Amino acid sequence: MIWASWSDFWAMGGYALYVWGSYAVVALALLLEVRGAAQRQRSAIAQIHEQEQDADL
């Protein structure tokens, strides 16, 4: 698709809300996934450290 101006590009032929809303939902989902993965990693590492301390006793 060829747009005559930047405002035409941002309007996306009348589908801007759907297009940009979809991008926002995907960006949010990716952000939450990265955050969740980091949190699960920290939790797993903490659990491993606890198991190591219990094994040393």
For residue range 39-53, list pLDDT tens digits in order. Answer: 999 999 999 999 999
* Contact predicate 14/8, CB 8 Å: no
Please state whether the predicted TM-score (pTM) of the whole model is above 0.85.
no
56 or 35, higher pLDDT = 35
The reported pLDDT for the residue numbered 14 is: 87
Residue with tokens 């809300």: 17
For residue range 3-35, list pLDDT tens digits in order. Answer: 789 898 888 888 989 999 999 999 999 999 999
Q: Domain extents for the chain?
A: 23-57
Q: Is the pLDDT reported for residue 1 higher than 80?
A: no
Six token digits for residue 23: 């991008």
